[in-house]
Structure 1
Amino acid sequence: MTTAPTQTARAARLDSVSKTFGTGAGSVIALDAVSLDIERGRFTAIMGPSGSGKSTLMHILAGLDTPTAGRVWLGDTEIGTLDDVALTLVRRERMGFVFQSFNLVPTLTAWENIVLPFELGGRRISAADREWIEGLCASLGLAERLEHRPHQLSGGQQQRVAIIRALATRPDVIFADEPTGALDSRTSREVLALLADACARFGQTIAMVTHDPVAASYADRILVLADGSIRHDIGRTSAAEVSALMLSLEAAA
């Protein structure tokens, strides 16, 4: 296993990462020599027009895809050098995932869905783990819904279950892919506030792909991609400012 020099402030890192799909004249450059640090304890939003490379960027950060060139780290572990078994263990033990579609198991209760990562990893739930999870459930108003199955929960409640599941093992990074895309505006705001709170209160690191300027406005940092490159790297700002930035990119295209 190859490791980078210790960088305690970095939760994840890309070094000159490129990704090309296809070969010859029909090839498409999805990422073009991107270097990036995802800082610990911060909420990072990744934006860009369709085809900008934002989803590819997240998939490579999460070890769900491999770069054509360049190196990828999770903390001090270079994940590009890992075999499939080791990479699966890293994703299971050190990453959390939240998707637009919730990805809850319909036959399991909310509680069983939340603790599923422990079951899959063969990891016993300690008293400290249980206290942590129950505290999350109580703070998110799910304490009375833990015996319900997904179809008995609202969309917002299902997404809260998915977020608690991602937080349950206290991963190094949570990757969120359009986590509010299937929710109404009010519920979206509640879920985004929860993600921001997870960073502020618990020091969680979150990287979120979104097309929504309102969602991006909850983040501490906003990365805007175009044509496979990072064009803007800015701090927290308003949804109106993000919208204007996206419109300027589209106008220049």
Structure 2
Amino acid sequence: MDITTTDLGLVARVQNLSKSYGTDRTRVDALRDVDLGIRRAEFTAIMGPSGSGKSTLMHIMAGLDSPTSGRVWLGDAEIGGMDDANLTLLRRRRIGFVFQSFNLVPTLDVEGNLLLPFELDGRRPTTRERDWIDELEQALGLEGRLAHRPHELSGGQQQRVAIARALATRPELVFADEPTGNLDSRTGREVLELLRTASTRYGQSIAMVTHDPIAASYADRVVFLADGRIVEDRGRSDAAEISRFMLDMEASS
């Protein structure tokens, strides 16, 4: 009997994962035989230079792209062979997303954006979920902004809304794709603290793709990719250590 993802204390994992684009002379191997598990209630940073495969890995783990070979699980559900309808349902109910570009709906106010995951699922929040949304609004300092639309908010406020929306349904895993890329350094630090707090205080599992050593230093674990392979998997590290490793990795490539 296979050992399940839950048995391993993981929220998601990939096994012998490879992804290629093109054929013959135009073929590009974005991922090469990758094995990785995202641990429950942990903040994981996935790092690497451009072209290392980190975004491709996130997209496949989130069910946004399919592998060329290998296996992919979210929880104990193997998603590699799921059809589009089931994948859409899985992403809606079990995964949260935070993007660099915020991806808020401009015609909805803050409250409407926070409730959007429930609307898409064809339901209203339960009483317990409503209490949780209220707690998020207070914790993220959004109570006075609920009637504002995205264009009336600063970049940092918009990203706070995006984080609250990602957490609203208490997903099994939140993927954050360069979440501080459009923010100034001070606001970026605040957003990273929020993500770390979501993990440490609320037990949220987070996988963040980044090229920024400072952003990665907020994570409990840092996974480095190069040329489609995992080359290092370490615990929490400071930004200087991460920068040195990145420089050494690029110098030896």
Normalising by the smaller structure, the TM-score range is over 0.9
- TM norm structure 1: 0.97
Query: SS state of the match for residue 73, structure 2?
Result: strand
In structure 1, the residue matched to 2:130 is 130
CA deviations on 1:156-204 (whole Å, 9 max, x unpaired) are 0000000000000000000000000000000000000000000001100
TM normalised by structure 2 equals 0.97
Q: Check conservation: 1:4, 1:78, Cα contact below 8 A.
A: no
* Alignment partners' CA distance in 1, 2:235 and 2:217: 9
Tell me what 1:178 maps to: 178
Q: How does 1:21-36 map to 2 (within 5 A)?
A: 21-36=21-36
How many residues align? The count is 251
Q: Deviations over 1:90-109 (max 9, x none)?
A: 00000000000000011100
CA distance in 1, matches of 2:56, 2:207: 13
Once superposed, what is the RMSD of the aligned Cα atoms? 1.0
Q: Which residue in the other structure is 1:166 paired with?
A: 166
* CA contact 1:98–1:177 (8 Å) conserved in 2: yes
Task: State whether residues 4 and 76 of structure 1, in contact with CA within 8 Å, keep that contact through their aligned partners in structure 2.
Answer: no
Match of 1:20 in 2: 20
8 Å contact kept, 1:4–1:77: no
Q: Distance in 2 between matches of 1:52 and 1:240?
A: 21
Q: How far off its partner does 1:82 sit?
A: 1.3
Give how far 1:4 is off. Answer: 6.3
Identity %: 65
Deviation string 1:39-59 (CA, Å, 9 cap, x unpaired) is 010000000011000000000
Paired letter, 2:149: R
Offset, 1:7: 2.1
Structure 2: 5+ residue runs without aligned partners? none
Residues in 1 aligned to 2:192 and 2:24: alpha-carbon distance in whole angstroms? 42
1:98-113 equivalences in 2 (<5 Å): 98-113=98-113
Contact 2:5 2:73 in 1 (8 A): no
Counterpart of 1:103, as a letter, is N
CA contact (8 A) 2:10 2:75 kept: yes
| CA distance, structure 2, for counterparts of residue 179 and residue 48 of structure 1 | 15
**Aligned residue number for residue 222 of structure 1:** 222
- Secondary structure of residue in 2 paired with 1:115: helix
The runs of 5 or more residues in structure 1 that have no matched partner are none
Taking the TM superposition and a 5 Å limit, the aligned residue runs for 1:1-253 are 5=4, 7-8=6-7, 9-253=9-253
- Mapped to 1, the partners of 2:16 and 2:159 lie a distance apart of 34
- Alpha-carbon separation, structure 2, partners of 1:188 and 1:72: 31
Inter-partner Cα distance in structure 2 for 1:105 and 1:6: 34
